[in-house]
């Protein structure tokens, strides 16, 4: 549709990119309208991962846009020369793509043509999304509505776009999934000899797994991409921003800590474990254990909670429950008591594995009280935790008094009825 030139702004002394509508299209009102629509779309998008629009205008029959110059190359060229990418690099680029597209979704736009050619990458892997030429406003988007012209790229558009339906944010999410697949494998998931075959492949063929092409891709990431490439829009993530949060959580948890995603997306954090060789918590675990250590006469070391905040899962409650489970240390088993920990709170006091808890814990608070029963490493003297609960209320509350008074009045109201029944019965005798 257009030709891009690298130019210099003589007034401001900066390098810019000038996008000029091809002269052969200047006589077509549809292309001129689309060109100007792109300018309006991009003008309202100010985001680090979207190419910034500086100016738009017309000089005779020449329609142009002055845009931010990105010193790099498009993602398609990088894929051809460097794919498959490492998981970290693919996540880094993919999260930035989701950031830019997700911002457009919040601004009420569907990109509708997400593909590597429209993703510019700098030398330090900073991403800029461009070409919103066929973006559509969400306010006029009608799902299931058929279009006379199917816009988009056949290798990357969603099945609903291939069917002629109006694209939605979930359509962009699908296209991002195809880009992820290509970054991690160097190949496209669907192929065809022409556009019709490609469209049918998106609609009918089974969704492939990334790990089938590149076995080094972690299972958790494979499941996320598989969900993103679902045929039905309702089975994908609704917006690119939601997908970005999922990917950020996956990355921050060390990848495989969220290996059950997205099937168990509401609770991806697993209970911490201790290695048989070392009682210290493993660095990949989200929370270090409390207590632990070898069961001997020495008290267990105290472990501090790390300072960085852990990301919350969308839709979560902001807290983490560590399940009670025995932890194996060599041939010995130490019971670890579960606790409800707030996401931003502090860890409860440490306790001794042999002599009970050494810290002061509230009897009715969030943390269960650890008993002081005997404990032997061989398991012959299991501990018997003593659980203390808050005493029952010693006084009757106002609600009970009011209910009792109402019941008393009800009984008094029935007394005349009882006397009338008694008199009737005695008179009949």
pLDDT digits (tens, 9 = 90+) for 135-155: 777 655 555 555 555 566 889
The correct answer on CATH 3.30.200.20 for the domain covering 2-68 is yes
Could you read off the pLDDT of 74-125 as tens digits, one per residue?
A: 999 999 999 999 999 999 999 999 999 999 999 999 999 999 999 999 999 9
Count the Cβ atoms, other than its own, within 10 Å of residue 418: 10
More confidently predicted of 223 and 360: 223
Report whether pLDDT(368) > 80. no
**Opening angle at CA 170, ends 168 and 174, nearest 5:** 120
351 neighbors 399 (Cβ within 8 angstroms): no
Q: What is the set of active-site residues?
A: 113
Comma-separated ranges of CATH 1.10.510.10 domains in the chain: 72-258
Report whether pLDDT(50) > 60. yes
Report whether pLDDT(325) > 60. no
CATH hierarchy code of domain 72-258: 1.10.510.10
**What is the rounded CA–CA span in Å between residue 254 and residue 88?**
10
pLDDT for position 33: 83
- The residues, any chain, with a CB within 8 Å of residue 129's CB and separated by 6 or more, are 49, 50, 51, 97, 100, 101, 104, 111, 114, 118, 119, 120
Q: Which of 59, 55, 25 is nearest to 42 (CA)?
A: 55
Crossing angle (nearest 10°) for helices 169-185 and 87-106: 170
Comma-separated ranges of CATH 3.30.200.20 domains in the chain: 2-68
According to DSSP, the β-strands at 332-336 and 339-342 are unpaired
The strand pairing partners of 165, in sequence order, are 146
DSSP 27: T
**What is the rounded CA–CA span in Å between residue 136 and residue 132?**
9
Percent of the chain with pLDDT over 90: 41
> 130 pLDDT band (50/70/90 cuts)?
very high
pLDDT for position 143: 55
pLDDT for position 151: 63
């Amino acid at each position: 549709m257009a030709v891009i030139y690298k130019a210099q702004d003589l007034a401001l002394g900066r390098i810019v990119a000038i996008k000029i509508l091809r002269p052969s299209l200047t006589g077509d009102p549809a292309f001129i309208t689309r060109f100007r629509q792109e300018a309006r779309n991009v003008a309202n998008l100010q985001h680090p991962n979207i190419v910034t629009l500086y100016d738009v205008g017309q000089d005779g029959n020449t329609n142009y846009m002055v845009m931010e110059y990105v010193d790099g190359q498009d993602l398609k060229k990088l894929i051809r020369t460097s794919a498959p990418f490492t998981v970290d690099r693919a996540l880094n680029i993919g999260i930035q793509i989701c950031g830019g597209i997700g911002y457009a979704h919040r601004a009420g736009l569907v990109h509708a043509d997400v593909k590597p050619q429209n993703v510019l990458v700098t030398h330090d892997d900073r991403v800029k999304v461009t070409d919103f030429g066929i973006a559509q406003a969400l306010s006029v988007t009608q799902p299931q509505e058929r279009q006379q012209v199917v816009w988009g790229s056949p290798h990357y558009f969603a099945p609903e776009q291939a069917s002629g339906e109006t694209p939605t944010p979930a359509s962009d999410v699908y296209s991002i999934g195809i880009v992820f697949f290509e970054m991690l494998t160097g190949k496209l998931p669907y192929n065809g000899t022409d556009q019709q075959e490609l469209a049918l492949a998106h609609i009918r063929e089974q969704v492939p797994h990334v790990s089938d092409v590149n076995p080094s891709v972690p299972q958790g990431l494979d499941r996320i991409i598989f969900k993103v490439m679902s045929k039905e829009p309702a089975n994908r993530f609704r917006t690119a921003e939601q997908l970005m949060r999922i990917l950020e959580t996956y990355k921050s948890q060390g990848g495989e800590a969220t290996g059950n995603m997205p099937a168990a997306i509401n609770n991806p954090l697993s209970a911490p474990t201790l290695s048989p060789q070392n009682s210290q918590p493993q660095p990949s675990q989200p929370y270090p254990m409390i207590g632990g250590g070898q069961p001997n006469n020495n008290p267990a070391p105290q472990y501090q909670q790390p300072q960085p905040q852990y990301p919350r899962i969308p839709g979560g409650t902001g807290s983490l429950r560590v399940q009670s489970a025995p932890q194996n240390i060599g041939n010995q088993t130490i019971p670890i008591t579960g606790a409800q920990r707030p996401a931003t709170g502090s860890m409860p006091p440490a306790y001794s594995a042999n002599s009970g808890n050494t810290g002061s814990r509230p009897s009715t608070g969030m943390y269960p009280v650890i008993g002081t029963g005997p404990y032997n490493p061989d398991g012959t003297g299991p501990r018997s935790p003593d659980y203390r609960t808050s005493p029952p209320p010693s006084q009757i509350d106002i609600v009970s008094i009011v209910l009792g008074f109402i019941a008393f009045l009800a009984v008094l109201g029935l007394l005349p009825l009882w006397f009338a029944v008694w008199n009737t019965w005695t008179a009949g005798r």
